[in-house]
Amino acid sequence: MSDLKFGLTETEAETKELFKKIDKTNIPEHVAIIMDGNGRWAKEQGQDRLFGHFHGVESVRAAVEGCGELQVGYLTLYAFSTENWERPETEVNGLMELLVETIRKESESLNKNNVKMHVIGDRSMLSAFVNSELDYSLNLTRDNTGLNLILALSYSGKAEIIHAIKNIAESVKNNELAIEDINDAVIKANLYTNKFPDPELMIRTSGEQRISNFLLYQLAYSELYFTEVRWPDFRKKNLFEAILDYQNRERRFGKTSAQITSS
Ligand code: FPP
């Protein structure tokens, strides 16, 4: 009997089928997402941009749930870039309000689901109010051991690298570190993401094929997946499609295909 007869919608049945096809022994440990296309989605509906952001929250929920089901270890969401501060004041304020409202509404359920929240970015640019809401959620979920949900907020990959370089230069100046000892591990230890593995998979929605200042150092060997789907339309089905696509790729890290196969 088909799933449709069991009362599942066509999308639910499709999502279930995709889930079954995923190789559970080859799940990316870290998935990063550029949630793009909210503004265009809203415009297509004859609405203002905030309407798109508002609907994007449902997609955030779907991505978190989907990653939880697949036991992804880390999910990083690009929620607000340092460049986004240049947007019209009403949009910036609207996004901040939405963020606070969402965190307030979802914190308890994230906590119940064993999700641990993290924030990366320049928090000094965020208002005291936004910071205190974030602290509440970070504190509440700090002992959880399930999915690590990392919000990139007021985030810039270039600023993160500059911050790391300054820290390293300071250590060299104070004779705590020799120049010859600067390596990949030292740089990683000085990034905001020092507690997290690099993403194996980076998804960007809405058809744009750019990195847009997101995790510039960490994405060096990530598989990039671009989909035409606008962020407010993104559902578990789309996440599972991206993971299946990832599982069909050969990750060579600069080696040859034969080397990878033999190892
Ligand atoms: C990019 O679309 C999206 C953003 C800058 C904001 C993303 C924010 C949310 C989905 C809201 C809530 C998030 C959390 C984590 C609670 P765009 O506005 O650049 O779209 P466009 O390219 O079509 O203009």
Dist. CA 80 → ligand 1 center (Å)? 7
Dist. CA 160 → ligand 1 center (Å)? 21
Q: Is the CB of 151 under 6 A from ligand 1?
A: yes
Cα gap 84→188, rounded to integer Å: 25
For 12, other C-beta atoms within 10 Å of its C-beta total 16
Dist. CA 48 → ligand 1 center (Å)? 13
Cα-flanking dihedrals φ and ψ of residue 91, to 5°?
-70, -40
The sign of the dihedral angle between the CA atoms of 149, 154, 159, 163 is negative
CB 196 within 8 A of CB 172: no
Cα gap 151→135, rounded to integer Å: 13
pLDDT digits (tens, 9 = 90+) for 204-254: 999 999 999 999 999 999 999 999 999 999 999 999 999 999 999 987 788
> Could you confirm whether 139 is annotated as catalytic?
no
The minimum-distance atom of ligand 1 relative to the CA of 91 is 18
Q: Burial of 173 by CB count in 10 Å (0-12 exposed, 13-18 middle, 19+ buried)? A: exposed
Is residue 40 marked as binding?
A: yes
Asked whether the predicted pLDDT for residue 194 surpasses 50, the reply is yes
Dist. CA 75 → ligand 1 center (Å)? 16
Asked whether the predicted pLDDT for residue 193 surpasses 80, the reply is yes
pLDDT digits (tens, 9 = 90+) for 62-109: 999 999 999 999 999 999 999 999 999 999 999 999 999 999 999 999
Q: Which of 181, 156, 148 is nearest to 72 (CA)?
A: 148
Please give the pLDDT value at position 5.
58
User: pTM of whole model > 0.75?
Assistant: yes
For 216, other C-beta atoms within 10 Å of its C-beta total 16
User: In this prediction, what percent of the chain has a pLDDT beyond 70?
Assistant: 98
CB 208 within 8 A of CB 30: no
E-only strand ranges, the chain? 30-34, 74-81, 116-120, 148-155, 201-204, 223-226
Name which residue sits closest to atom 6 of ligand 1, judged by CA: 79
Average pLDDT over residues 135-153: 98
Q: Is the CB of 60 under 6 A from ligand 1?
A: yes
> Could you confirm whether 248 is annotated as catalytic?
no
**If pLDDT is split at 50, 70 and 90, which confidence band does 4 have?**
low
The minimum-distance atom of ligand 1 relative to the CA of 57 is 12
Cα-flanking dihedrals φ and ψ of residue 60, to 5°?
-60, -45
Is residue 38 marked as binding?
A: yes
Asked whether the predicted pLDDT for residue 30 surpasses 80, the reply is yes
Q: Is the CB of 156 under 6 A from ligand 1?
A: no
Asked whether the predicted pLDDT for residue 6 surpasses 70, the reply is no
The more confident residue out of 2 and 82 is: 82
Is residue 85 marked as binding?
A: yes
Asked whether the predicted pLDDT for residue 256 surpasses 70, the reply is yes
Q: Is the CB of 77 under 6 A from ligand 1?
A: yes
| Least confident interval from 144-158, 188-202, 226-240, 245-259 | 245-259
Is residue 73 marked as binding?
A: no
Q: Could you report how far apart the first and last alpha carbons of the chain are, in Å?
A: 43
Residue 195: HSE in the Cβ half-sphere, 13 Å Cα cutoff: 11
Q: Which residue ranges form the domains of the chain, and what is each CATH number?
A: 27-156+198-248 (3.40.1180.10)
